[in-house]
Amino acid sequence: MNCEKCGSKMVVKTGRYGEFTACSNYPECKNILKDKKVGPPPEKTGEKCDKCGEGEMAIREGKFGKFKACLNYPKCKNTKNVEPIIQ
């Protein structure tokens, strides 16, 4: 794949938020494409968001593990820790 801005080759790189595709002509060209994550949709919890009152909380997975987040993101940025399962 070639860069749509300068025509150089695009390469896959890993940053602190995961993989992305960037122009190999960096720093002259700073074109990037964020890779879309492929996977199952977030697992809904049935719990209403206590911050916005409109959204539903869902289980998501991030850099530090699983957490609950409002499905109204980016409008609502409410997050919570997932309670550990006690056996």
Instruction: Determine contact, residues 51/70, Cβ cutoff 8 Å.
Output: yes
* pLDDT 10s digits, 56-83: 999 998 878 899 999 999 999 999 999 7
Confidence label for 34 from pLDDT (cuts 50, 70 and 90): confident
What is the C-alpha separation between 54 and 83, in angstroms, rounded?
22
Q: Any idea which residue has 């991030």 for tokens?
A: 62
